[in-house]
Amino acid sequence: MNHFAAPSFWDAYDKLPKSIRMKADGSFAKLRADPFQAGWTLLVSSS
């Protein structure tokens, strides 16, 4: 599974505190390791 981020994402990401970026990086690493893990959810709007 490929994941892509817009340049605006990286601009916002760079502005986050280092502790938050580290948590996000850890979560993304888990997602890449097992994209079908039962703990991952996708919220879809019905509107």
- Express each pLDDT in 19-46 by its tens digit: 999 999 998 888 888 877 766 566 565 6
Per-residue model confidence (pLDDT) at position 30 = 85
CB 41 within 8 A of CB 7: no
> Residue holding tokens 């994402």?
9
Per DSSP, 13 falls in state: H
Per-residue model confidence (pLDDT) at position 18 = 96
CB 22 within 8 A of CB 15: no
Here the tokens at position 33 are 């390791």
pTM beyond 0.95: the answer is no
Helix residue ranges per DSSP H, 1-47: 7-15, 18-33
Cα separation, 23 vs 37, in Å, equals 18
